[in-house]
Amino acid sequence: MSGGWLEALHIFGCLLLTGASVKLMDDYLDADFDLCRGHRTLAARWGRATLPYALVLGMIGAALDARLAAAVLLASYAVGMFTAWREQLPTRLPAWAEIGGAIVLAVVCAGWRDAVWAIAMMAVIDWVDDLLDMYGDGLSNQFNLALRIGPIETVFLVLLALLVAVTVSPTYTMWAFIALAVLSVLSEWSTRKVEPAVSRDGEVYHRGSD
């Protein structure tokens, strides 16, 4: 019994901390877009210090379950790059090549089952996030799958990805949703609302000081 609870704690802890690491890095990259929408995230306030903190969280998550952490991290990268698959990246490789590389690495590091689950689950989270942020992303001109292909179509893709995730590992999926809820609450709590640079009508106006 205690072994089962300990394993569950490891899985949840790994998903929570790796997810927090990915979220911090994502918020750091999107800091300007978020500020434009009036959200001053933790990553925006920390600036460059975000990266070492994100690394520490990721390492602790990996210490709890290395295979799962590797799968989640690489899958997050692959799914995040889906939207810009034709772009040329700093490595001089096209994004689709790096996506393929990340998927292969995930399979090698975590096994094909965990890799498939991680890709499906990260896709669910990313696309649900796009559905919820449709309006805001339209204002700040960020890529959004729901804006690109339509909200109903995105819902069908979410259901498809969720079907894959639940079929491969219902336990991981359950813990991932719980970790996502906790991270969402923490993210909301740590984000400060500031006066947006763009009003709801699309009018740009300037703020006095920060």
Tell me which residues touch other proteins (CB under 8 A).
Answer: 149-150, 152-153, 156-157, 159-160, 163-164, 166-167
Least separation in angstroms between residue 79's CB and other proteins is 18
Least separation in angstroms between residue 167's CB and other proteins is 5
Least separation in angstroms between residue 116's CB and other proteins is 12
Judged by beta carbon, residue 24 or residue 120, the one nearer other proteins is 120
Maximum CA pair distance of the chain? 59
Least separation in angstroms between residue 25's CB and other proteins is 30
Burial of 117 (C-beta count, 10 Å sphere; 0-12/13-18/19+)? buried
Q: Residue 198 forms beta bridges with which residues?
A: 204
Judged by beta carbon, residue 78 or residue 164, the one nearer other proteins is 164
Judged by beta carbon, residue 17 or residue 164, the one nearer other proteins is 164
Please state, in angstroms and as integers, the Cα–Cα distance from residue 110 to each residue in 91, 162, 164, 209, following that order.
24, 20, 17, 48
Asked if 72 contacts 22 with a C-beta cutoff of 8 angstroms, the reply is: yes
**Which amino acid, 42?**
L
Judged by beta carbon, residue 153 or residue 195, the one nearer other proteins is 153
Judged by beta carbon, residue 66 or residue 163, the one nearer other proteins is 163
Least separation in angstroms between residue 159's CB and other proteins is 5
Judged by beta carbon, residue 166 or residue 182, the one nearer other proteins is 166
Least separation in angstroms between residue 148's CB and other proteins is 12
